[in-house]
Amino acid sequence: MRIIHQDEDIVVVEKPSGFLSVPGRGEDKIDSVSHRIRTTIAGCIDQPSVHRLDMDTSGLIVLALTKEAHRNLSMQFQERQTEKHYVALLDGELDGDKGTITLPFRLDVDNRPYQIYDEVHGKIGTTHWQKVAIENGLTRVAFHPITGRTHQIRIHAAHEKGLGIPILDDPLYGNGSDPGKMKLHAASLAFDHPASGERLSFKTPPPF
């Protein structure tokens, strides 16, 4: 992982695909963005994570180094005051140019961590999307999620009521088989600095 920004209150990291945002279950899954920040930055709180990316999603994450920063950033994410933009390669050619996807979905308790469409018990996820280009039979798409549901962009891309084309190398909703290969990248992240209130914006190009 690569540190993009660091000060007394926060650290912004670019996470590679295939690397955990927070520790998983078991000793073999401790290594993660959160664990490395906590153990390498002096004075960091025990739980610096305020949001996360899926293991196979690459891109930008902000972590809090103090309790006050953690509280402030968590509230910004909860109240949707942050702004996140993603880039993905879809495993096929998409016809439309842009639009908004709104679908209810929930965890499949018999097949974790898979998420399923459910009009009755699902929670609404909303994502704006725009086609960028067709590249050798694949489609580059920019995604702007309004909500932050688990696997939201992946489901909105793959589901027939969404774009109907999975993200390339998605191991859950597409044809991916190897970890660290999925073509979904958190390319920009904006939020208010928890101490100064200054609006900060970070960008990093996708590795694909």
Contact 118, 161 (CB under 8 A): no
Contact 10, 64 (CB under 8 A): yes
Contact 132, 187 (CB under 8 A): no
Question: For residue range 115-155, what is the model confidence (pLDDT) as tens digits?
Answer: 999 999 999 999 999 999 999 999 999 999 999 999 999 99
Q: In 18-82, where do the E strands start and end?
A: 58-64
CA distances from 129 to 8, 142, 153, 181, 196 (A): 35, 6, 10, 22, 32
Contact 5, 11 (CB under 8 A): yes
In angstroms, the CA 157 to CA 164 distance is 6
Q: How confident is the model at residue 141, as a pLDDT?
A: 98
Question: For residue range 4-51, what is the model confidence (pLDDT) as tens digits?
Answer: 999 999 999 999 999 999 998 888 889 999 999 999 999 999 999 999
Q: How confident is the model at residue 25, as a pLDDT?
A: 83
**Which has the closest alpha carbon to 23: 14, 32, 12?**
32
Question: For residue range 141-195, what is the model confidence (pLDDT) as tens digits?
Answer: 999 999 999 999 999 999 999 999 999 999 999 999 888 899 999 999 999 999 9
SS3 state of residue 173? coil
The residues assigned a catalytic role are: 54
In angstroms, the CA 122 to CA 124 distance is 6
